[in-house]
Structure 1
Amino acid sequence: MKHTPQKSAGPAVDVLVIGGGNAALCAALMAREAGASVLLLESAPREWRGGNSMHVRNLRCMHDEPQDVLIDAYPEEEFWQDLLKVTGGLTDEHLARLVIRHSSGCRPWMRRHGVHFQPPLSGALHVARTNAFFMGGGKALVNAYYRSAQDLGVEVRYDSAVERLELDKGRFVAAITASGERIAARACVMACGGFESNIPWQREAWGQNERGEWPAENFLIRGTRFNQGVLLKFMLEAGADRIGDPTQAHCVAIDARAPLYDGGICTRIDCVSLGLVVNRDAQRFYDEGEDFWPKRYAIWGRLVAQQPGQVAYSVIDQKAIGRFMPPVFDGTKADTLEELAALLGLEPAAFVKTVHDYNAACRVGTFDHTALDDCHTEGLTPAKTHWALPLDTPPFYGYPLRPGITFTYLGMKVDETAAVRFDGLASPNLFVAGEMMAGNVLGKGYTAGVGMSIGTAFGRIAGVGAARACGYTHPEFEEEMSEVSHAAAH
């Protein structure tokens, strides 16, 4: 094998941050605020900077009373129960509650770095109480953080993918880039994403199913093409303690016509709970009305991944129009069920029977798509437990679905310090944040905005930890985290 000569990086920096999204930027800003010199390496070119954070829209926030852009209250215990439900208990409660408590107080800091929030939204997501939305979305948030980083003197390099680290018994020494450059630093924060964009790794993780299919070959990537998981794989092979199942991910049912990469939020199909979903055999396979869409939308990608051909179809009638966020692609429209089936490539008789069986099972009470209403089915498997209205009002609409991977949950195990661990021992100067450790909180499932909660909390914690490893302190954050830790202990 030919070895590329390593080039000197010049004087060592205090804190090296690897990654360019929300968690990395939070770490870089916090370390710089503490007084450390900071170099941030982003693998993408400048125009694609920000990783998956470009596509985010909001932050899930705990609050005990109305706060600026958040209405009513969303107390810790309700947030925790929401997280517990979607993860099925596959979460570290201590770290989850740390994230939840941190979410209650991070917005003033975000505002100081140029992030703006918009007034509560109305519409299909029903999250004005639980989530704070960014003015201008994730792209505006990322741009604000980069501007603030520049103003504070953080050095940023684009097109700078890191392939491996130089380690000494768990201590970070230097990073080696794809070009062979060796960059030494006194401490390091890794926040460069999961392996969602690495289709061969996805294929290996998911394997072959009983039908002889390789499901991952039909996956679409909702976010950045640059999250290849190169450094994650290196760290796991280097012996970092791991967390998470490689097949678990933020996996959403998105429009099958979406691009392979970077489709973002507009490719999501949000009418699932207002109609029914069938696979390519025209059979239903899950309760479309199990819970509010923001709590359950991220289970549907995995459900579709388990269906033949990794494809499904969300079907509604005219009554649903105006009650959900319209997707970027128009639905297939037809005046009869038989015509819709033919247009979608479904066997008409099987599809019509599925719809008629569903219609006959509907027990319509008081329909309310903003509440867990009493419209449900009886004698139908699987049941539809809420919002069950017959599909009987043409025109009918169908949307093809594919699994859309946002980010993967396989990562590195951490504690409340965000330090990477080797055989249970914390590294003194190597930290991790964002997707690379989100599996500690998200063993499976997802609820809207919690990825940003995790990235913001652990990005800030990791940045302060890295600065502390270099001899710097951040008194304001130390006080904030002391209060959070005290609350967590009780």
Structure 2
Amino acid sequence: MIDVLVIGGGNAALCAALMAREAGASVMLIEASPREWRGGNSQHTRNLRCMHEAPQDVLVEAYPEEEFWQDLLKVTGGNTNENLARLVIRESSTCRSWMRHHGVHFQPPLSGALHVARTNAFFMGGGKALVNAYYRSAEKLGVVIRYNSPVEDIEVQDGRFVAAVIPERQINGQLYPAERIEAKSCVLAAGGFESNREWLREAWGNNERGEYPSDNFLIRGTRFNKGTLLKCMINLGADCIGDPTQAHMVAIDARSPLYDGGICTRIDCVSLGVVVNKDGKRFYDEGEDFWPKRYAIWGRLIAQQPRQIGYSIIDSKAIGHFMPPVFPGNKANSLEELADQLDLPRETFLRTLDNFNQGCCAGRFDHTLLDDCVTEGVTPAKTHWARPIDTPPFYGYALRPGVTFTYLSLKTDATAAIRFSNQPSENLFVAGEMMAGNVLGQGYTAGVGMSIGTAFGRIAGHNAALASMGKQPKSAA
């Protein structure tokens, strides 16, 4: 019997597998996807949000614990477990040397429109390079890796993990029999339910016309995160936390693929213009805060609009102040022409833009600061970077909600143990998206998902190794 079974194949699962192996346990990692799609949502990531008290290698200036905490507190609206959040924050300050030891490389500090040179460490080659490095290290250390192995059931007895069940399946025309894999301990890190369309329908419900808003959602990440193990554990009585409609949900290019569009589908000009819905009306403050602190609320905002679509509108003054999208948007020499191209009601759209333009107050525009360019007498107000949209050519980008991962999670503690009736399991642990809702009740700030996955992946893996040896799990705090 193996010591530690890790279920999942992304950042959190790999961190758990590596930590368990380093602690002396025999480890098997089983991934639902084929090898070419391994890595879950982590393959689409770019960076890790890191606490640091002074300049460190690829991080400039300082980003102390309290500032990180306040940033997280603000975006979650207080819907977070402070003890676990601060654990993640402190762990983020010490993980980079360990990551480098396992082959992860970081690129020099970034500056400019992303506003994250101080707070986030970027992976050289992005998330795909990170997961590939971890897989190489895991193989070198002797971790057994299985692909095309979706777990459909978990056997638990009195709160203890017993076995994982893989169903009969066909791979490249070959039939593989069902399997039952026993282990002394287990880490669940198999992601949320964002690619389970039926569960999304159930969570979001339907409208008065019988339509399901979630049918218009696009999935930025992996198609393999069906939430099978999350639902299994909930059915087994594991304690859970979070709202099933809360998620990392970004406004992305409406032309994006249904799955695996990743980072390149983002439209980053929202804060520099206005966003209107299908009726040609604004519905939220586009300049509320820096884009890395607000980009992940816009998917949910658009999900609440008619037909779940929005349109980011800018003029030529905004060009050069944001990361350009992969594909060009609509371009027009007049707002009338742009309205027609986007199939928006011309009269309402022009009135919206005219009211906004009239409400813009003179200020000193600076997209790198929370500047004093604001609106007056306009609802909703725009509180930063408000400039009249009056300089052709004009640009419009159609936006859809892009779900990265869901926040409904298994409840845990500082040991990463799964809990049943508030009692921690002795040998069953959780990491990554399956527990992120303990820290992220709502909202998001760039890079914190990787911080959570790295922190709790390492904690879960280490404690799973201890549990397999009959030792007591430890808190990282």
Report the counterpart of residue 6 of structure 1 in structure 2: none
Report the counterpart of residue 429 of structure 1 in structure 2: 427
TM-score normalised by structure 2 residue count: 0.97
Distance 1:212 1:381 in 2: 30
Runs of 4+ in 1 over 4 A off after TM superposition: none
Alignment of 1:29-428 (within 5 A): 29-179=18-168, 180-210=178-208, 212-428=210-426
Deviation, structure 1 residue 211? 5.2
Question: In structure 2, the residue corresponding to 1:117 is in which secondary structure?
Answer: coil
Question: In structure 2, the residue corresponding to 1:166 is in which secondary structure?
Answer: strand
Distance 2:209 2:252 in 1: 23
Q: Which deviates the most, 60-69 or 122-131?
A: 122-131
Contact preservation (8 Å) 2:112, 2:368: no
Question: In structure 2, the residue corresponding to 1:167 is in which secondary structure?
Answer: strand
Contact preservation (8 Å) 1:34, 1:473: no
TM-score normalised by structure 1 residue count: 0.94
Deviation, structure 1 residue 123? 2.8
Unaligned 5+ residue runs, structure 1?
Answer: 1-11, 486-490
Question: In structure 2, the residue corresponding to 1:431 is in which secondary structure?
Answer: strand
Question: In structure 2, the residue corresponding to 1:313 is in which secondary structure?
Answer: strand
What's the CA shift string for 1:374-404, capped at 9, x where partnerless? 0000010000000000000000000000000
Distance 2:294 2:442 in 1: 12
Report the counterpart of residue 171 of structure 2 in structure 1: none
Distance 1:211 1:397 in 2: 32
What's the CA shift string for 1:86-121, capped at 9, x where partnerless? 001110000000000000000000000000000011
Contact preservation (8 Å) 1:123, 1:325: no
Distance 1:178 1:107 in 2: 38
Contact preservation (8 Å) 2:246, 2:406: yes
Question: In structure 1, the residue corresponding to 2:195 is in which secondary structure?
Answer: coil
Aligned residues: 468
Deviation, structure 1 residue 213? 2.9
RMSD, aligned CA = 1.2
Distance 1:329 1:260 in 2: 16
Deviation, structure 1 residue 209? 2.7
Distance 1:285 1:213 in 2: 21
Partner AA of 2:131 in structure 1: V
Distance 1:407 1:400 in 2: 22
Deviation, structure 1 residue 472? 7.8
What's the CA shift string for 1:164-218, capped at 9, x where partnerless? 1111111001100122200000000000000000011001100013454311000
What's the CA shift string for 1:124-164, capped at 9, x where partnerless? 21100000000000000000000000000000000000001
Identity across matched positions, percent: 74
Contact preservation (8 Å) 1:35, 1:472: no
Report the counterpart of residue 26 of structure 1 in structure 2: 15
Contact preservation (8 Å) 2:278, 2:344: yes
Distance 1:263 1:109 in 2: 29
Distance 1:100 1:322 in 2: 33
Deviation, structure 1 residue 297? 0.4
Unaligned 5+ residue runs, structure 2?
Answer: 169-177
Q: Structure 1 residues 212, 379: CA separation in 2 closer, same or farther (over 3 Å shift)?
A: farther
Partner AA of 1:44 in structure 2: S
Distance 2:25 2:85 in 1: 28
Distance 1:172 1:387 in 2: 53
Question: In structure 2, the residue corresponding to 1:175 is in which secondary structure?
Answer: strand
Deviation, structure 1 residue 428? 0.4
Distance 1:355 1:364 in 2: 17
Partner AA of 1:63 in structure 2: H
What's the CA shift string for 1:317-336, capped at 9, x where partnerless? 00000111111111100000
Question: In structure 1, the residue corresponding to 2:145 is in which secondary structure?
Answer: strand
Distance 1:472 1:146 in 2: 27
